[in-house]
Amino acid sequence: MGEPRSSRMDQILDLLVQEIQERLEGERAAPTQPAQEPILEPAAPGAVGAPAMGAEVTPAPGTGVVPAASVEGVPVGEPGVPPGAEEPSQAMSGGPHAARLMWRLVLGLFIALIVTNIPLNRNGVTLARAMPDAASYIVRDGFVAKEEHDPDIYVYQNGKFRWISSMDAFEHYGYTWKDVHIVPDGYLDRYDIGSPIHVLLKCQDSPHIYRLEAGQKRWIRDIDTFLAEGHVWEDVRFVSCAYLRDLPDGETIPPGSGRPPQP
């Protein structure tokens, strides 16, 4: 098993945190409606406490400051936040909309944590482990893979990876090295492993069928054994009898069946 990769859940959390930050920054940067200027109504001529139109405003004695009440049309109020301005705490927090957004993201994260930790198969592989990373592959029928430090080559067929038992089998089924995907060590552990793929050899002038393994021919004793091993006639490859005779003999199938006959 290779060195473990970074947790997929860490990637999910980083993406959610980044999304929250971007949403909050967007709320803060959004232009706000400018506060409307109060409409200044000229004081009615002769009103009590208001100077007449065109009258000269005299500063307060000894100060040189015009009293607030003498400025035409400007309402007098307590110093503080101008009308229409947001409170600092609300502006910084993003307001009620940002709070609702935060709760939705927290709820989504909670659901994601539950879903990604539910086992997907009988081997206990969870979605968090099965999620693809930057070096992910599309696994479908015909996908050929070899782990980085393992010489064995597998092909994906009908939901399982099947070991290609020899280079003869590899070439017999038309595969080339360009078809082989090098995957990290332990990559195949998350999948079911099916029966191996062998090459069955036979020549025209002999009734015997052999299975080629590790450069040796293994005689299959009879048809019942042939079928019990899961072989089909489509797996049989016809070669010359001279080629078969030149191959060294391996253990019979089943083992202990005596001396194998020559083609």
Residue from 259, 148, 152 nearest 213 by CA:
152
Q: How many domains, in total, are found in the chain? A: 3
Q: For residues 119 and 219, state if they share a domain.
A: no
Residue 16's pLDDT is: 67
Q: For residues 94 and 182, state if they share a domain.
A: no
Whether 79 is in a domain gets the answer: no
By residue range, what is the domain housing residue 236? 199-246
Q: For residues 155 and 185, state if they share a domain.
A: yes
Whether 256 is in a domain gets the answer: no
pTM of the predicted structure, to 2 decimals: 0.43
Residue 115's pLDDT is: 58
Residue 108: C-alpha distances to residues 17, 145, 155, 169 (Å): 12, 36, 38, 49
Residue 183's pLDDT is: 94
Whether 41 is in a domain gets the answer: no
Residue 30's pLDDT is: 59
Q: Is 234 helix (H, G, I), strand (E, B) or coil?
A: helix
Whether 176 is in a domain gets the answer: yes
Residue from 232, 5, 4 nearest 134 by CA:
5
Whether 260 is in a domain gets the answer: no
Whether 154 is in a domain gets the answer: yes
Q: For residues 12 and 98, state if they share a domain.
A: yes
Query: Measured between alpha carbons, how far is 56 from 43 in angstroms, rounded to an integer?
Result: 14
Out of 155, 190, 225, a domain closes at 190
Q: For residues 184 and 203, state if they share a domain.
A: no
Residue 19's pLDDT is: 73
Which residue positions in the chain have pLDDT lower than 50? 1-6, 47-48, 50, 53-54, 68-72, 74, 76-78, 81, 84-93, 121, 123, 125-135
Residue 131's pLDDT is: 47
Residue 17's pLDDT is: 67
Whether 71 is in a domain gets the answer: no
Are 194 and 158 in contact, with CB atoms under 8 Å apart? yes
Q: For residues 94 and 128, state if they share a domain.
A: yes
Q: Model confidence over 2-54: pLDDT tens digits?
A: 444 445 666 666 676 677 777 777 766 655 555 555 555 555 555 445 455 44
